Chains A and B, each alone.
Chain A
Amino acid sequence: GAVVSQHPSRVICKSGTSVKIECRSLDFQATTMFWYRQFPKQSLMLMATSNEGSKATYEQGVEKDKFLINHASLTLSTLTVTSAHPEDSSFYICSAVSLKSSYNEQFFGPGTRLTVL
C-alpha cells in the first residue's frame, strides 16, 4: 500500500515550452502533497505544499507563477513548469500524506527527470 506514482518519469523539452508533471496517490487519499526538486548530487529542496481544493503554499524563493501547482482531487496533484529554461532542468519528486496516517507520514513518488534544451 501507500504507492505514489509520477508521470512522466522523464521529459525533454525545448526552452520556452511548458511541462506538466503529475503526481498520483494510487491506493490512498491525500489531502496534502509536496513538491521537491533535487539538483545533481544535492539534497531535496521543498518547493511547495499542495492542498486539495486550495492554493498551494510556496517556499521562499520559489516563483509561484513559474511553477503552477494544482491539486484538484484527493489523489492527484500536478506541477506545471511554465516557460521552461535550461536552469529548470532538475529531478522533481512529489510526496503525498495519507489521510489515514496518524502522524502525517509522507510517501514519495519515483521522481521526474526534466531536461530543458
Chain B
Amino acid sequence: ETGVTQTPRHLVMGMTNKKSLKCEQHLGHNAMYWYKQSAKKPLELMFVYSLEERVENNSVPSRFSPECPNSSHLFLHLHTLQPEDSALYLCASSQAGENTEAFFGQGTRLTVV
C-alpha cells in the first residue's frame, strides 16, 4: 500500500466509449501526475498538477483530458481512444516544490478494442 489508489485496476473500452480513470492519494501531497507505461518504453509523463494547477502537458492528444478537483484527487477522462492507447496508466503524487521521490499507484491496465 503506497498511499496512492487507482481505480479501476483494469478497463476494456471501445474506441467510441467515454470512460474516466480515478486516482486518490492519502499522503498529504500537493502534486499529482499521470504517466503512460507501454511495453519496452520508458515511462511517459503525460500531465502534472501542482497545487491543483496544471503545470505540464507533454503534447498529449486531446482525447485524454485530466481533471484535478483538489490536491487529493486526479482524474483522466478518456474519449474516442485508439488501440495504440492501450497501456498501463500510472498515477503518482509527491510534494510540490521539493526534489523528492514520487509515490505511485498500482496503475490501470487499459485495453482499447
Whether A and B are associated in the same complex: the answer reads no
What residues make up the interface of B, taking CB atoms closer than 8 Å to A?
A: none
